[in-house]
Amino acid sequence: MPRVYGAAVVVVTLLLTGCGGGGARSSELRVCSADTFVPNYVPQLERLLYWERFPVTVYFERDANYSDYYRQLALQGFDQWVQATGFVVRYRQVDSPDAAQIKVYFKPDTRNGLTTYTYYPSSGRLVSAKVEIGIQGGNPIDIRSVAAHEFGHALGIGGHSANVEDLMYPTFTSNVPLEITPNDLNTVKTAYCNYFLARSRVAPREGGERPVQATIRCGCPY
Ligand SMILES: [Zn+2]
List all residues 6 or more positions away from 218 whose beta carbon is below 8 Å from its beta carbon.
112, 113, 114, 115, 146, 149, 150, 153, 160, 170, 171
Compute, in angstroms, the gap from residue 21 CA to the centroid of ligand 1: 14
**pLDDT tens for each residue of the chain, 222 residues long:** 444 333 333 333 333 322 233 332 334 445 688 999 999 999 999 999 999 999 999 999 999 999 999 999 999 999 999 999 999 999 999 999 999 999 999 999 999 999 999 999 999 999 999 999 999 999 999 999 999 999 999 999 999 999 999 999 999 999 999 999 999 999 999 999 989 988 878 778 888 899 999 999 998 543
Among 3.40.390.10, 3.40.630.30, 1.10.3210.10, 3.40.710.10, name the CATH number for the domain at 14-217. Answer: 3.40.390.10
Compute, in angstroms, the gap from residue 204 CA to the centroid of ligand 1: 27
Compute, in angstroms, the gap from residue 114 CA to the centroid of ligand 1: 7
Question: pTM of this prediction?
Answer: 0.85
